[in-house]
């Protein structure tokens, strides 16, 4: 059962690595959650780092039984986790959105990031390590365009209470994954997608351009309309500049 076992540690390089090491030693069950007060090498998408003050934020990894999900449907997991985070923030009275593929923003500032690492057998996902970093009580981010629950709400927030709320949302939305109702997940995800159908400024290897996000392909690529054509972008192929 998801969240049945929660392991709290003081420090690790990254909670996803911690889960991977337990997995390689055969010492972890599906549904296990790892929480750390501090991580020295937090990971983001495609090698980016996740910086967090010790003891102030949620550093969370979950070992997920993916019920033999096909690799071609792996973006479903990104949608599932992103929606769960957005909904738990709603429970705390905060409106957020998803910056493709899986950064969570409040008023244009990043409050959470997600990293999913899958274990494969052929074309089947047999397990996933889901990492979530979410700013809870940190208030100083230097020059980073970031925010936290404390900054948004104006008061201290219990990380432990937030964890249990998040686990409940993950449980709830996992039922949709298990039922294979992927169209419903996509509908939820698009309803929270930042800049969807808004004319905005982006950049790719050719430079800046004006475009409109029209959705996301089943494989997770971003559907961008520019010059009356639809172009699909993968991670790191496009940068977000601003809305207009």
- Inter-residue contact 194 to 97 (CB < 8 Å): yes
Domain 199-243, second-level architecture: Roll (2.30)
Residue 73, preceding peptide bond in cis (omega within 30° of 0):
no
pTM, two decimals, is 0.93
Look up the CATH number of domain 6-191. 3.30.930.10
Q: Which residue has the tokens 């709290």?
A: 8
Closest CA to 132 of 81, 93, 169: 81
Closest CA to 152 of 88, 93, 236, 235: 93
- Banded model confidence at residue 128, pLDDT cuts 50, 70, 90: very high
Burial class (CB in 10 A: 0-12, 13-18, 19+), 53: middle
pLDDT digits (tens, 9 = 90+) for 110-122: 999 999 999 999 9
CA distance 86 to 209: 29
pLDDT digits (tens, 9 = 90+) for 211-224: 999 999 999 999 99
CA distance 15 to 202: 32
In the chain, residues under CATH classification 3.30.930.10 are 6-191
% of residues, the chain, pLDDT over 90: 90
| Backbone phi, psi, residue 87, to 5° | -70, -35
In the chain, residues under CATH classification 2.30.30 are 199-243
CA atoms within 13 A on the CB side of 104: 29
């Amino acid at each position: 059962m998801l969240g049945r076992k929660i392991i709290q540690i003081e420090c690790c390089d990254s909670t996803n690595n911690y889960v991977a090491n337990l997995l390689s030693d055969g010492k972890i069950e599906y549904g296990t959650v790892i929480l750390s007060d501090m991580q020295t090498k937090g990971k983001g998408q495609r090698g980016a780092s996740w910086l967090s003050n010790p003891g102030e934020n949620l550093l969370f990894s979950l070992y997920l039984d993916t019920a033999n999900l096909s690799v071609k449907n792996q973006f479903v997991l990104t949608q599932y986790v992103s929606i769960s985070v957005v909904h738990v923030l709603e429970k705390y009275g905060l409106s957020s959105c998803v910056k493709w593929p899986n950064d969570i923003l409040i008023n244009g500032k990043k409050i959470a990031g997600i990293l999913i690492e899958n274990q494969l057998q052929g074309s089947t996902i047999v397990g996933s390590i889901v990492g979530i970093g979410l700013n809870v009580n940190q208030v100083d981010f230097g020059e980073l365009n970031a925010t936290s629950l404390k900054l948004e709400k104006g008061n201290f927030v219990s990380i432990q209470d937030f964890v249990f709320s998040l686990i409940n949302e993950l449980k709830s939305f996992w039922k949709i994954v298990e039922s294979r109702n992927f169209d419903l997940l996509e509908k939820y995800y698009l309803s929270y997608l930042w800049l969807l159908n808004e004319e905005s400024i982006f950049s790719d290897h050719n430079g800046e351009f004006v475009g409109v996000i029209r959705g996301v392909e089943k494989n997770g690529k971003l559907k961008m309309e520019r010059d009356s054509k639809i172009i699909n972008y993968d991670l790191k192929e496009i940068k977000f500049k601003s809305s207009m």
